[in-house]
Amino acid sequence: MPIKLFVCGDVVNYTNNQAWLSMDLQQVIKNCDFAVANFEAPIDTEQMQSIVKAGPHVYQSPQSIDYLKQAGFTHVSLANNHIYDYGERAFKNTLSMLVKNDLGYVGAGETFAESYQPRILEKDGVKIGLLAACENEFGCHYDDSISRSGYAYLFHSKLEDAILAVKQQVDFVVLIAHAGVENIPIPIKEWRDRYHRLCDLGVDVIVGHHPHVPQGYEQYGKSLIFYSLGNFYFDTPAFAEKSDDSYSLVLEFEKQAGVSFDAIYHKKIDGTTKPVPEEEVNFNLDHLSALLGEGYAELNDQYALETYNAHYKKYYQSAAGVPNSFKFKVKKMIKIVLGRKSNSEQSNGLLLLHNIRIDSHRFTVQRALSLKYEDNS
């Protein structure tokens, strides 16, 4: 008998919505042997304090862990850009509550080594090695000398070591990857190349999220890569009114037959994520996957330029000390986080660190400026 693994995208239950997931979708989850969600933020914790960072801080209801368990989830990925938004206290409390509810976690930990430790899923003699990692945002374990809690880095050699090691112990390796440029329909080339490399090392299935919208999938050699599932359930103010049309996967693993999958389409309707027919979501998975074929390179360049012009150009080209809309918004967030007026040097420095350390930002700016100023003929 094959192992069935349900995998979905980002989950944030900020409003403590017990009716976050329909019963029929819960039944799909419970019909699988294992189920993993990306648990996108720590739970609300007494006396927690937000870390100093650029970008929004996110937390979710403590009851969200109970709701995951009740829905049939067995594991969560913690390798994401918001899991460390409220520091050690909230992070460790989240781990404690996951353990209390018998939910396994992967991709993050109290130590560098723990964050790269795989989980082994086993049933009827079939073994799956489960790993998770994210790009280098605030909270990342990008350096083995970091002593705080954090999550695994998609470009760290330790991840490659973990893949090679677990490959010797299991029949299949699954990597949950949290990375990419938000709100575009394709993965950028740099992430596509990285995922190909990780498949060359032994990963059989990569399941991605973070862009908040669905992206396509491809067969690379004997491996499957799903670049972004989109949001599964996200109810922070920025997403509360959005339908979050997206998809999840039921992956089947069998020693002789290999890996197969079914896509489960869903959207948020009246505050509840519900399964819907394929024709009722606002995307076409076959079309998104076709974008990875002919014309991909030109499309990739186009999105790099569009993203740069929309989000980065004013920041990098503005005169020192002259505010622009993007810069002003982030500086305002930093002032709120710090609880005091932030000086220009500090807010500029945090925003610069944000743009340099986060791989997708750096890749996008580099590609856009290269297209503008280098001879690519």
Supply the DSSP string of 193-243, one letter for each residue.
HHHHHHHHHT-SEEEEE-SSS---EEEETTEEEE----EEEE-STTTTT--
* Per-position b or e across 1-36, b if 16+ CB within 10 A of its CB: ebbbbbbbbbbbbbeebeebbbeebbebbeebbbbb
Assigned token pair, 194:
């990285």
- Residues of the chain within CATH 3.60.21.10 domain(s) are 3-287
SS3 content of the chain, % helix, strand, coil (to 5): 35, 25, 40
Distances (CA, A) of 33 to 22, 179, 249: 19, 27, 13
For residue 94, count other CB atoms closer than 10 A to its CB.
29
How many Cβ atoms from other residues are within 10 Å of residue 373's Cβ? Answer: 8
Pairing between β-strand 75-77 and β-strand 34-39 as defined by DSSP bridges? parallel
The one-letter amino acid at 372: K
- E strand or H helix that includes residue 359: helix 359-373
Residue type, 59: Y
What CATH topology corresponds to 3-287? Purple Acid Phosphatase; chain A, domain 2 (3.60.21)
Q: Which residue has the tokens 């819960």?
A: 26
Cα–Cα dist 291/301, whole Å: 13
- CA-based end-to-end distance of the chain: 54
Q: How far apart are CA 67 and CA 81, in angstroms?
A: 22
pLDDT averaged per 10 residues, the chain (length 377): 95 98 98 98 97 94 98 98 98 98 98 98 97 97 96 98 98 98 98 98 98 98 98 96 97 96 98 98 98 98 97 74 51 50 66 92 96 75
Contact status, residue 329 vs residue 311, Cβ threshold 8 Å: no
Cα dihedral value 111, 181, 244, 66, nearest 10: 0
Neighbours of 304 (CB within 10 A): 23
pLDDT at residue number 22: 98
Q: Note the pLDDT of residue 251.
A: 98
Q: pLDDT value at position 112?
A: 98
Distance CA 208, CA 206 (A): 6
**Residue 317 pLDDT:** 76
Amino acid (1-letter code) at residue 135:
E
Question: What pLDDT does 59 receive?
Answer: 98
Q: Which long-range contacts (CB under 8 A, 24 or more apart) does 265-272 make?
A: 266/25, 266/232, 267/243, 268/233, 268/242, 268/243, 268/244, 269/243, 271/17, 271/19, 271/20, 271/235, 272/17, 272/19, 272/20, 272/21, 272/22
